[in-house]
Structure 1
Amino acid sequence: MGSQEVLGQAARLASSGLLLQVVFRLITFVLNAFILRFLSKEIVGVVNVRLTLLYSTTLFLAREAFRRACLSGSTQRDWSQTLNLLWLTAPLGVFWSLFLGWVWLQLLEVPDPNVAPHYAAGVVLFGLSAVVELLGEPLWFLAQAHMFVKLKVIAESLSVILKSVLTVFLVLWLPHWGLYIFSLAQLFYTTVLVLCYVIYFTKLLGSSESTKLQTLPVSRITDLLPNITRNGAFINWKEAKLTWSFFKQSFLKQILTEGVYDIVNNLGSLVARLIFQPIEESFYVFFAKVLEREKDATLQKQEDVAVAAAVLESLLKLALLSGLTITVFGFAYSQLALDIYGGAMLSSGSGPVLLRSYCLYVLLLAINGVTECFTFAAMSKEEVDRYNFVMLALSSSFLVLSYLLTRWCGSVGFILANCFNMGIRITQSLCFIHRYYRRSPHRPLAGLRLSPVLLGAFALSGGVTAVSEVFLCCERGWPARLAHIALGAFCLGATLGTAFLTETKLVHFLRTQLGVPRRIEKTT
């Protein structure tokens, strides 16, 4: 498969992921608004913060390293060994769900049972949901490695829709079940998700159509189960060692970056999750397929190296523009957003300062997502280990800085410490990218440079909206607020128009790869 074809598939995967994220966030928003009419906000808060964090942390620690290591492998591999390695995510998920469940029940404060009933059952069922989802990891990997876009869209959409229907039904008919409602809905979601993959591959591999798919490494569904390979090795130890390196990196990443507070985190990172996460996940697959680990850029196929450089430059430009837009306009509209979201209780306290600080963090988060997307796809095992050592060495300084800044300026200090941590990670990745392309004619880091005209447009928009906030927001009533919004919309349109005229290379990339609908093959 050529690099251009892989790029097209990665772009489709990213655009479909972006669309799914938007739809799912809308469904979640409407669902929460409905639920709050029947259940207390404390129950919703426990689900969205405590239980969802348990579920996501279990999945992250159990599978993130396996995904990064296995997706970066060559197509010329022993697929049985790779699938065997991926099956290890299930017992790891059991371990992490038990350990974290104990932490959630014994070390963290347990909510009042009169306010949030059945909390212990919720912890057990959310942990079980994570384990159930991990049982489908080999199937997810096979679909992701071959970029089955249609399967991903159908499986995730159907799961979310059915989960929402079940949640509404239980809220209406059995509201006294409390956390049982969300726990059972979450378990139902993961079960449907895994079943979609199982049914798809069972039908595909059992049909005559599967003989046309020469790229698929399995011919029947039982080939996906753990088995001993011909050479007697259960797993590929090179992939296993790389997985261990990525696990150490993932563990440190989870420890060093978790923790920005509830509502501010949800509002501030919303756009980051909508835009950056699908792009990072999809183009990690692209870079991992196009580039070969252990090889310098000059020793690889130059066409692939050039395409990877062009894509990286465009992604960096997209991340920088998106992050700057969020930062510049977030500063002037944080107070208004919190006022609309939660009223004076949020907008009159420290919330606006927290959210403004978080807007800066989102800029760094965007750039870091793209740089690490490339870095972890191209690094050798030894380079990943060195990266982990640097992160470990910096962890003590991060913790000390968090302590000092938190004492000095409260919660904002923790966000600033996270910005420091993210800046160090970006610097590490930029140094790697510079070294990687040093002896080639390509300079993908040029994506971090903007034209003076566009920088001026951002500066002017920031100044105008800041003045508008002082005179029009937020105690002067809705007419003034609407004027503030209208002025911001005008500045945003002018800034995006300037970007359209000055960043022609990025516009071309978006048009050719993300903006033009492509036919999705029947097999995907």
Structure 2
Amino acid sequence: MSTPERAPAARLDGKASLRSVSSLIGLQLFSRIATFAFNQILFRYASPEAYGTAAVQFELILSTILFLSREGVRNALLRAWPQKPTSPHHDSRPYNAALNLASVPLVVGLPIAAVTTLSYIFAASKDTQSQALFQPAVLTYAIAAVIELMSEPLHNQAMGEGLTSVRVSAEGLGITGKSLATCGMLLFDSWSGYGGELALLAFGLGQLAYSVLVVVAYSSRLGWPQLWPVRLTGIFPRESATAQFSSFFNTEALQLALSMTYHSLIKHLLTEGDKVIVSWWSPLDGQGGYALAVNYGSLVARIVFQPVEEICRLYFSKLLSETNTSKAKAQRESDSANASSALMTLISVQLAFSALVLVFGHSYLPIALHVLLPPQYLATSAPQVLSAWVWYIPFLAINGGLEAFLSSVMTPSQVRSQSRWMIAFSVVYISSAITLYSLGFGDAALVYANIINLSARIVYALEFTSSYFLNVGRPLDWRAALPHKYFVAMVWLSYTLIETYARRAAVMKAVEESGRQAVFSRVVVSHIALGGVLGILCLTSWWILIGSSLRSSYLHHKKD
């Protein structure tokens, strides 16, 4: 069986990785700041019912269509995007086969969009369907999903060829257009006296604007995408199970994409399970409070964790891909050493970061809630859910990095094995959520159930990763990733000082009595200043004890 041809620059160098990370973090930072400002208008002009419907139920429909259509293909192509032929003498079949595979998400996305949308329209509750322009809004979301899938060939090309700036500019333009379109429609609805009747349609038009602008931006940089598979001039070696596809696709890449798509289905149920459950258990206004909390709670995850996870997946895929059999033994050993060092560094940084999140997030979140949340949302489940998110973030960070590594090195048979475990994890998640709901945890039950779920997935990922590096002669000592004991002592001392001051100065009493105005009081300002000073001291101690050595290790591997 032939394998996809690899580009000469098979792995990202250090500078390229850092540029990609910084670009993606910049994109997420911009998108979250824009979304934050955008949400302040939404909370004012859209009712909790309309916001809950759009942010929970419509977003679930959109993510289902996109995730099931493209996730498996994206992961498969990340492993081995072929080099673009530079002359007529070069074999163009691997590159053309990759373009064919990149067009598959649109092909399969059309029936998935139709089935998902119609199923939702018939299954939605009467309260949801009774909202103004419900069906046109749902159809607009479905159309937006299909249009977004048109950009998939160009997205995969940009990621495969390391053109991160193309993706950043495209998605940045899309986010800006989405914010302007949605807010503009909501303002028009308010000023024209429609009484909120255009709210759901405003969300749909915003998503449609995003999709159209992303396609336009990609096309302006890379040309119009190939939207349908075309027969290749030659064919890859045939196999009995996939002979009918061999004149269009590289069968190995296709099989990997199918395996990862099946795995993505299970992962999607876990990732979006909270929206399914909250849609079933909570009324529409409760869904609005939960969506608001998750939107704020995911700021850190989307700004930092998501770009890092994507770059790790790209880095490990190109560094350790089994499709590249031409490497010398010494090069493979060097790549394994670099991969293990990068993974241990990532886990070490995430654990230290998690300690800071737990201490400072727990101490200062109650103040932030009174500043950020609109008064009508303070009585919803939003504060409770956000408090639970402080504990959720560390698990989310560590699991994301480990699963990025797994998705980069797993064979199709290992992906199928992981999928079976993911089914078991989904049972654990659903059972935990229902049990915690019944025990009175409210919507925060979904966050705590996710913590239980992620804990199981982390254990699985640690076991697989340990076995992988043991097999290549690079056994891992996970204890080396634990934070330094003096750093832990500094963090614990900071927590003690912050909580002692807050209790003696009655900080929360001042906040509850004065609301947002309390932020300018001497007591609260002193409390925030104390946290700022201690935070800087914690970061300084981390750099002295751990950070500088990690930097030296990175420079050493880069030099090698």
**TM superposition score category, shorter chain reference:** 0.7 to 0.9
Give 1:293's aligned residue: 322
Q: Does 1:195 align with 2:216?
A: yes
Any residues of structure 2 matched to 1:210-229 within 5 Å, and which?
226-229=229-232
After superposition, the Cα gap between the structure-2 partners of 1:393 and 1:189, relative to the gap in structure 1 and judged at 3 Å, is closer
What is the alpha-carbon distance in structure 1 between the residues aligned to residue 401 and residue 57 of structure 2? 29
Give 2:101's aligned residue: 85
What is the alpha-carbon distance in structure 1 between the residues aligned to residue 76 and residue 11 of structure 2? 23
1:493 to 520, 524, 536: 536
Q: Is the 8 A contact 1:21 1:274 kept in 2?
A: yes
**Which ranges of structure 1 fall in alignment gaps of 5 or more residues?**
203-220, 514-524
Residues 384-425 of structure 1: CA deviation (Å, up to 9, x unaligned): 111112222343343333332332242344322211110111
Q: Percent identity?
A: 26
After superposition, the Cα gap between the structure-2 partners of 1:397 and 1:491, relative to the gap in structure 1 and judged at 3 Å, is same
The Cα shift of 1:289 comes to 0.8
Give 2:491's aligned residue: 458
Give 1:236's aligned residue: 250
Letter in 2 for 1:499: W
SS in structure 2 of the partner of residue 280 of structure 1: helix
What is the alpha-carbon distance in structure 2 between the residues aligned to residue 108 and residue 223 of structure 1? 36
Q: Does 1:271 align with 2:271?
A: no
What is the alpha-carbon distance in structure 2 between the residues aligned to residue 24 and residue 145 of structure 1? 23
After superposition, the Cα gap between the structure-2 partners of 1:474 and 1:106, relative to the gap in structure 1 and judged at 3 Å, is farther
Q: Is the 8 A contact 1:14 1:279 kept in 2?
A: yes
The Cα shift of 1:34 comes to 3.4
After superposition, the Cα gap between the structure-2 partners of 1:355 and 1:509, relative to the gap in structure 1 and judged at 3 Å, is farther
1:254 to 243, 268, 273: 268
Q: Does 1:182 align with 2:182?
A: no
Give 2:68's aligned residue: 61
The Cα shift of 1:38 comes to 4.5
Letter in 2 for 1:70: L
2:454 to 414, 422, 431: 422
What is the alpha-carbon distance in structure 2 between the residues aligned to residue 491 and residue 316 of structure 1? 23
SS in structure 2 of the partner of residue 24 of structure 1: helix
2:175 to 135, 138, 160: 160
Give 2:4's aligned residue: none
SS in structure 1 of the partner of residue 97 of structure 2: helix
After superposition, the Cα gap between the structure-2 partners of 1:319 and 1:355, relative to the gap in structure 1 and judged at 3 Å, is same
TM-score w.r.t. length of structure 2: 0.80
The Cα shift of 1:138 comes to 0.9
Q: Is the 8 A contact 2:345 2:481 kept in 1?
A: no
1:376 to 403, 407, 418: 407
Q: Is the 8 A contact 1:402 1:413 kept in 2?
A: yes
The Cα shift of 1:143 comes to 0.7
What is the alpha-carbon distance in structure 2 between the residues aligned to residue 349 and residue 465 of structure 1? 28
Any residues of structure 2 matched to 1:430-469 within 5 Å, and which?
430-438=462-470, 439-441=472-474, 443=476, 445=478, 448-469=481-502
What is the alpha-carbon distance in structure 2 between the residues aligned to residue 133 and residue 510 of structure 1? 41
Give 2:310's aligned residue: 281
2:143 to 98, 116, 128: 128
Letter in 2 for 1:277: Q
Any residues of structure 2 matched to 1:247-396 within 5 Å, and which?
247-258=261-272, 259=274, 261-293=290-322, 301-342=332-373, 351-396=382-427
What is the alpha-carbon distance in structure 1 between the residues aligned to residue 379 and residue 214 of structure 2? 42
Give 1:141's aligned residue: 156
**Which ranges of structure 2 fall in alignment gaps of 5 or more residues?**
1-7, 84-92, 236-245, 276-289
Q: Is the 8 A contact 1:66 1:243 kept in 2?
A: yes
Q: Is the 8 A contact 2:11 2:318 kept in 1?
A: no
Q: Is the 8 A contact 1:457 1:495 kept in 2?
A: yes
Q: Is the 8 A contact 1:367 1:426 kept in 2?
A: yes
Could you tell which deviates more after superposition, 273-282 or 330-339?
Answer: 330-339
After superposition, the Cα gap between the structure-2 partners of 1:447 and 1:42, relative to the gap in structure 1 and judged at 3 Å, is farther
Give 2:55's aligned residue: 48
Letter in 1 for 2:492: A
What is the alpha-carbon distance in structure 1 between the residues aligned to residue 481 and residue 461 of structure 2? 13
What is the alpha-carbon distance in structure 2 between the residues aligned to residue 157 and residue 341 of structure 1? 24
The Cα shift of 1:56 comes to 2.3
Letter in 2 for 1:100: T
What is the alpha-carbon distance in structure 1 between the residues aligned to residue 503 and residue 291 of structure 2? 27
The Cα shift of 1:113 comes to 7.2
How many residue pairs were aligned? 494
What is the alpha-carbon distance in structure 2 between the residues aligned to residue 349 and residue 37 of structure 1? 16
The Cα shift of 1:141 comes to 0.3
The Cα shift of 1:380 comes to 1.1
SS in structure 1 of the partner of residue 508 of structure 2: coil
SS in structure 1 of the partner of residue 439 of structure 2: helix
Letter in 1 for 2:302: R
After superposition, the Cα gap between the structure-2 partners of 1:227 and 1:149, relative to the gap in structure 1 and judged at 3 Å, is same
What is the alpha-carbon distance in structure 2 between the residues aligned to residue 73 and residue 492 of structure 1? 42
Any residues of structure 2 matched to 1:504-523 within 5 Å, and which?
504-505=547-548, 508=551
What is the alpha-carbon distance in structure 1 between the residues aligned to residue 324 and residue 418 of structure 2? 18
The Cα shift of 1:330 comes to 1.9
Residues 95-118 of structure 1: CA deviation (Å, up to 9, x unaligned): 23223323432222255678x521
Residues 137-177 of structure 1: CA deviation (Å, up to 9, x unaligned): 11110110011122122212222223333344434445543
What is the alpha-carbon distance in structure 2 between the residues aligned to residue 254 and residue 450 of structure 1? 32
After superposition, the Cα gap between the structure-2 partners of 1:145 and 1:6, relative to the gap in structure 1 and judged at 3 Å, is farther
Q: Is the 8 A contact 1:313 1:445 kept in 2?
A: yes
Give 2:278's aligned residue: none
Give 1:213's aligned residue: none
1:70 to 60, 71, 77: 77
Letter in 2 for 1:123: V
The Cα shift of 1:434 comes to 0.9
Residues 9-59 of structure 1: CA deviation (Å, up to 9, x unaligned): 232122111111111111122223235555545434433333233222321
Give 1:212's aligned residue: none
Any residues of structure 2 matched to 1:32-43 within 5 Å, and which?
32-43=39-50
What is the alpha-carbon distance in structure 1 between the residues aligned to residue 21 and residue 372 of structure 2? 29
Letter in 2 for 1:278: P
What is the alpha-carbon distance in structure 1 between the residues aligned to residue 126 and residue 555 of structure 2? 52
After superposition, the Cα gap between the structure-2 partners of 1:426 and 1:170, relative to the gap in structure 1 and judged at 3 Å, is same
Letter in 1 for 2:116: L
